[in-house]
Structure 1
Amino acid sequence: MKTAAIRALPASATVFPILFMISTVHLLNDSMQSTVTALFPVLRESQHLSYGQIGLIAFMMNITASFLQPLVGWFADKKPRPYILPIGVCFTLLGVVMLALAPSFAMILLSVTAIGVGSAVFHPESSRVAYLAAGSNRGLAQSIFQVGGNIGSSLGPVMTALIFIPLGQKGVLLFVIAAVAGIVLQTVVARWYAAVGAAPKPKKAVAHDEKSALKLSAGKVRMSVGILILLVFSKHVYLSSFTSFYSLYLIDDFGVGKQQAQWYLFAFLVASAAGTFIGGPLADRFGRRNIIWLSILGTAPFSIALPYADPFWSAVLCICAGFVLSSAFSIIVVYAQELLPGKIGLVSGLFFGLAFGLGGLGSALLGEIADHTSISTVMHICAYLPLLGIFTLLLPKDAELRGR
């Protein structure tokens, strides 16, 4: 479908070509980003890193994205900047090359910071594009966008097993191809965004959004945002325990081989991608609050049982936990966008930034705990985080959120 034909679609139509393009770039971006965690088993041996240093690497990448994403989103709300989309991937390309050639721990930190800058530009602006291309299917659109990222993240363990263990750190250079492809696709998306998304929103639509928002008091809006932040905390600190330490937990506590441990993590991340894709359409049908509640609190039985399981049941439980938990984030973003209409970029940047920041802080803190206790202790502590999903019941119901 040509760009002109896409622009001619009615406002309520879902622009699937654009959604599939940004989802593909999300896949490429997060696969490059996941090279960092995928390298942990290799870097731990080659550069003699402690759990604390491993956590610090994840922290630096995530905290960079965390601080910058709300700023990018805030500026985009004031004046959309479509062509920063390919520029963001250029930062990721720079970080990938630096990571492949980094001779020291300090250079690794510098390279992951560059990758964090790339993610900071990519996520809020691309989430805004997903919102603009969603039509009447906002949950589905965010899920399509998010599932690309989940698939990209799930490739990390496969890269460890098939690329980084055989080739070592320099195997990251293979992802230069992914970065170049991402730059090309983002240029196409930017042209559509410049033509359609950068145009002012019709006054009637703005007035409708603001009228719906006024149905909730300022205090209830603040409380709801606080609850959403708590839910993002529970989800992403739990996820960080997996992406950063689960394979090391299997290696250290069960004697599982490095390559075999990556397949366990791969199963968890693939299940997460499937859950992300299903969550959005379910939320459009059954309500956002209902699916958020089911997703986060529903993970608790699996997460609590997992540290007590043998390797076989650990694999079963981690697949169940990944599938149920990961349906929540795209819905949380859409819920927050409807809670704060007119601030799409800021909301997207804030919640993606929180996801990165809390994940990074979680990795750093959990790494220190593991150094002072054991990796098993970390898995036991994190098992109870999904219980925070009970606070979802305090959120306004969907009908109340929409002013009905």
Structure 2
Amino acid sequence: MPKPHTRSLALLSVSHACVDVYQGAVAALIPFFVAERAYSYAAASGIVLAASLLSSVVQPLFGALTDRWPLPWLLPVSTLAGGTGVALAGVSGSYAVTLVVVAVSGVGAAAYHPEAARVARRASRGSHTAMGWFSLGGNLGFATAPLLVAAVVATGGLRASPLLVVPALAGTALCVAALRTAGARPPAPKGGPGEQAGRDDWASFARLSGAIVCRSIVFVGLSTFLALYVRERTSGGEVSGTVALFVLYAGGAVGTVAGGRLATRFGRLPVVRWSYALTALAVAGVVLVPGPLLYGCVALTSAGLYVPFSLHITLGQDYLPRRVGTAGGVTLGLTVSIGGIASPLIGALADVTSLQVALAPLIALPAVGWFLLRPLREPAVPESVAGPEAEEGGQGVALESARSRTFRA
């Protein structure tokens, strides 16, 4: 059986970090927009919406395009676009201009993820752990964003934001190197676009997507307001908020890799279900627990949100084996970025009540996701990408079936 292409995955993982640092940077910039430009919560969250809304719409379109034609050039071009948009966010004092350049950054992320997920899927050869490493890169980018933004903007103000383009320049070079290492993409099998092993299970994919939407709203809502909320709850100033946001993102470094390893042993769906259950309890702690213990709840929330992250991608691709670009566009794009649409609603509620009241509804969403996931069955891994660990994953399928009553109780 073929083994994962380690070098290609390493390059893709680091380039993934260079792209997703800008998705995390948008949320990390919010406290600075509030402080320097006196934006309301609703206005500040509108910036997150600008990054998410257009991305949500166009990302599935990019996925559908990559199902039909190879578009490797999208990787370096989209990386550069994502970084340029955020780098220009602090240059103009105009709210409208800020919205536009942040939207450009969101389109860059939208263009990157479907093709990157396809290339990573082929390089991983069906390995859950290998896809976990690819996802880890993106999560590390998110985790680094608050530190990067704090280092640049806290020192030089919003007008220093052009310095934030540096990761995009590095990521562009890494994308080019990754594509050269991976070589030309093999042509699609005869009989139609995409990978033709198996049938597309749209009903299961819809349930999975609904669960990811719930996860996305929780993640984006906390990303947008956690720094401000922790500053209010702990009276610790800007540093306390930055630390909390870093903990939320940094937990992905452990959670994403752990998710791949746990899925190899127990099966993907049991791991995903229990992660959603843990998230519901952890978010309740974030909203309700006072003082320094709040940081522990943030760490548990991070674990619950990130453990299933790479598993969402592989499950989506295996539910739609003929449309892996579309699956990547939805699981990495539409359902993830759609969480930004809820941010202005949370901000508007916070303006008329409090941040604690506005964040309280996030407690219920992971439970809704768990109910959506409960009826799902483990999909088969197509032979075109199956590798040694995929075979072990097959054992996980059998194990999941044997233990279904236990894990679903």
Scaled by the length of structure 2, the TM-score of the pair is 0.87
Instruction: Give 1:238's aligned residue.
Output: 218
- Find 1:150's aligned residue among 128, 139, 143: 139
Check if 1:63 corresponds to 2:53.
yes
Q: Which residue of 2 aligns with 1:259?
A: 239
Question: Relative to structure 1, is the Cα distance of residues 272 and 346 closer, same or farther in structure 2, using a 3 angstrom cutoff?
Answer: same
Matched residue of 1:13: which SS? coil
User: Pick from 78, 86, 103: which aligns with 1:88?
Assistant: 78
Query: How far does residue 275 in structure 1 lie from its aligned partner after superposition?
Result: 0.5
Query: d(CA) in 2 for partners of 1:299 and 1:342?
Result: 32
More moved, 151-160 vs 326-335 = 151-160
> After superposition, what is the alpha-carbon deviation per residue over 1:172-220, rounded to whole angstroms, capped at 9, x for unaligned?
2222221111111111223345x342433488xx89722xx3xxxx8xx
Alpha-carbon distance between aligned partners in 2 of 1:348 and 1:291, rounded to the nearest angstrom = 20
In structure 2, which of residues 177, 180, 184 is the aligned counterpart of residue 188 of structure 1? 177
3-state SS in 1 of match to 2:374: helix
Separation in structure 2 between the aligned mates of residue 390 and residue 113 of structure 1, nearest angstrom = 33
Question: How far apart, in 2, do the equivalents of 1:48 and 1:296 lie?
Answer: 36
Question: What is the SS of the residue equivalent to 1:299?
Answer: helix
Aligned partners of 1:235 and 1:386 also within 8 Å:
yes
* Conservation of the 8 A alpha-carbon contact between 1:297 and 1:390: no
1:392: which partner in 2? 373
Contact 1:289-1:398 within 8 A present in 2 as well: no
Establish whether residue 270 from structure 1 lines up as the match of residue 258 from structure 2.
Answer: no
What is the alpha-carbon distance in structure 1 between the residues aligned to residue 203 and residue 66 of structure 2? Answer: 25
Equivalent position amino acid for 1:283 in 2: A
The answer (yes or no) to whether the contact 2:219–2:305 under 8 Å persists in 1 is: no
Give the match for residue 163 of structure 2.
174
Give the direction of change, closer, same or farther, for the CA distance of 1:207–1:336 in structure 2 (3 Å limit): closer
1:267-289 CA-to-partner distances (Å, cap 9, x unmatched) read 12111231012112221332111
Q: Residue in 2 aligned with 1:331?
A: 311
2:31 maps to amino acid:
P
In structure 2, what is the Cα distance between the partners aligned to 1:365 and 1:89?
29
- CA shift digits 1:13-63 (9 cap, x unpaired): 100111111110111111133222111111112111111111111011011
> Which residue number in structure 1 is paired with residue 3 of structure 2?
13
User: Secondary structure, in 3 states, of the residue corresponding to 1:102?
Assistant: coil
Contact 1:273 1:323 in 2 (8 A): no
Under a length normalisation based on structure 1, what TM-score does the superposition of the two structures give? 0.88
Of 199, 203, 206, 2:187 maps to 199
Counterpart residue identity of residue 188, structure 2: P
Summarize the alignment of residues 212-227 of structure 1 with structure 2, pairs less than 5 Å apart. Answer: 213=199, 221-227=201-207
Per-residue CA shift, 1:286-331, capped at 9, x if unaligned? 2111111111122222222322212211101110111122111211
C-alpha contact 1:59 1:363 (8 A) present in aligned 2: yes
User: Is the 1:288–1:398 Cα contact (8 Å) retained in structure 2?
Assistant: no
* Partner of residue 34, structure 1: 24
C-alpha contact 1:303 1:318 (8 A) present in aligned 2: yes
Q: How does 1:15-164 map to 2 (within 5 A)?
A: 15-137=5-127, 139-164=128-153
Tell me whether 1:342 sits opposite 2:322 in the alignment: yes
Q: Output one character per residue of 1:52-84: Cα deviation in whole Å (capped at 9) or x when no partner.
A: 111111011011211111111111111111112
Task: Report the counterpart of residue 352 of structure 1 in structure 2.
Answer: 332
Structure 2 segments unaligned to the other structure (5+ residues): 383-393, 399-409
State the Cα deviation string for residues 341-380 of structure 1 (Å, max 9, x = none).
Answer: 1211111012222234322112122112112221111221
1:375 to 352, 355, 367: 355
Matches of 1:399 and 1:200, distance apart in 2: 19
Partner SS, residue 394 of structure 1: coil
What SS does the corresponding residue of 1:377 show, helix, strand or coil? helix
Q: Confirm whether residue 283 of structure 1 aligns to residue 272 of structure 2.
A: no
CA contact (8 A) 1:68 1:120 kept: yes
Which whole-Å CA distance do the structure 2 matches of 1:28 and 1:387 have between them?
A: 32
Aligned-pair identity (%): 26
Q: CA deviation at 1:143?
A: 1.2
Deviating above 4 A after TM superposition, structure 1's stretches of 4 or more consecutive aligned residues are: 398-404
Residues 113 and 17 (structure 1 numbering): CA distance in 2 closer, same or farther, change over 3 Å?
same
Give how far 1:225 is off.
1.9
Matched positions, count: 382
Tell me if structure 2 keeps the 8 A contact 1:69–1:120: yes
Q: Pick one of 280, 285, 292 that aligns with 1:305.
A: 285
Pairwise CA distance, 1:398: 4.7
Cα distance in 1 between the residues matched to 2:196 and 2:2: 15
Q: Structure 1 CA distance, aligned partners of 2:233 and 2:13?
A: 37
Q: Is the 1:32–1:92 Cα contact (8 Å) retained in structure 2?
A: yes
